[in-house]
A and B are shown apart, each in its own frame.
Chain A
């Protein structure tokens, strides 16, 4: 990592508010009710939606509304060389929870009492920002499945690297000493934040700067989501 302090100091030459190259596709898994792929830089997430179906075990059922359940999984070959042990682990469990919480406010779940809507997310390749890519793909998959939604959800990680607030951190940036990683998911039309996590130490001003930056870059992702959905049915 270069530690110089010029205007552009990111290791891959991006500007502070530049995102990595993005790509998205709808309907990648024909057997699922809805599915989507979202790629940002080297991170690729695939999401498939199944359901609504009766939620079991029964004590988890909510008689008033449905429940979104997530299944986040990094594939064995997805990392940087070492085998990632796939399947549920502590980290995946936490990510499942935050993704569920990020998606739930966007979907109108009152129509599906006592049901679960299952979102399966697999990461083929990872280079930081996986939970954000997962949320972005999952929200497109939910829209593709034909669920009524208040809004799409766009997510991006912002953070502070070498003293600069930047958007969309990749793995080398995330690994920098004192780097701060802030995954943010928001509903771009509602202007509502549905996920905000913070890993590291950051001042209050920098945090609000980072959130403002996230709002700007989320709009870029939202634009891509919109284009992707339109392109599927052109």
Chain B
């Protein structure tokens, strides 16, 4: 009785009628309007039995408790830090939720300063508040490296099934790579390798809806890494660094990098800008 107006894997726009009748059920990104099921976002239609679901092509970050995010410290008071997590609210990081002991009379900026990027975890999300914590394995201040923006809807693609994509990028470029659920990815390695990793991530961001992307990215990385020539001095410096890191990262999860010696924070580069990072 129910009639489907759109084929599977077809691109739909907000408001588009997907199906008629009660035979189909709306799931994420779709809603029922009387007899009809309509889409509420721009995305690709996925059909699972009777359930119609829209896989978004682009989305806003929807914060959920338990998300690992890369946050930027933007403000602080006597007892809390405020961090931009690209949600509709600033994340709140209170004194209690940091692993460091903050002594009496200490300035908060001694620990996390304005503009610092931290890997934090959301523990509570409400309409009013988004509470962050820094207590947990791998949660820390990010120093050095580069940042690149990914659309939050593409984060699962960048990670891949069981971390296949993120593992691929890490293996091929030898960079350390952390991606927050809010769509900020942090990359650290040899500068030339970082650029390659950024290009790969931007490629996933742009073409995340295509099929067989892992193979394409692998091919792309192979090709790019052939051309990469690392300056001798830099290569030596990074080679030693890299090998130790590779050992570490092969064991640990993407979001579970062990801590390292403090480095001066280099300016984060977002979007398509590809300026060379400043030397330490």
Query: Which A residues form the contact surface with B (CB < 8 A)?
Result: 30-31, 33-34, 52-54, 66, 106, 108, 111-115, 143-152, 187-190, 225-226, 229-230, 233-234
Contacts and interface: CB of A to CB of B under 8 A. Distances in A.
B166 to A, nearest CB: 22
Contacts, number: 78
B127 interface: yes
A218 to B, nearest CB: 13
Interface in B133-188: 151, 153
Contacts of B89: 54, 114
Question: What secondary structure prevails in chain B residues at the interface with A?
Answer: loop
B14 interface: yes
Interface of B: 11, 13-17, 29, 38, 40-42, 56-60, 62, 88-90, 127, 151, 153, 209, 271-272
Given A30-B272, A146-B153, A189 B42 contact: no
A146 B57 contact: yes
A186 to B, nearest CB: 11
B11 A146 contact: no
Given A111-B62, A146-B56, 16 more contacts: A33-B60, A54-B90, A112-B88, A114-B88, A143-B42, A146-B57, A146-B60, A148-B41, A150-B15, A151-B14, A151-B15, A152-B14, A189-B15, A189-B16, A189-B38, A190-B15
Q: State the 10 A-B residue pairs at the shortest beta-carbon distance, nearest first.
A: A151-B15, A149-B14, A146-B58, A146-B59, A189-B15, A230-B11, A112-B88, A148-B40, A143-B42, A115-B88
Given A52-B88, A111-B88, A112-B88, A149 B56 contact: no
A113 B15 contact: no
16 contacts: A30-B271, A106-B14, A115-B88, A143-B14, A143-B41, A144-B58, A146-B58, A146-B151, A147-B60, A149-B41, A151-B15, A189-B17, A190-B15, A226-B13, A229-B13, A230-B11
A57 B184 CA distance: 28
Contacts of A145: 58, 60
Nearest to B29: A148
A152 B209 CA distance: 22
A148 B153 CA distance: 13
Contacts of A66: 88
A115 B41 CA distance: 20
Nearest to A52: B88
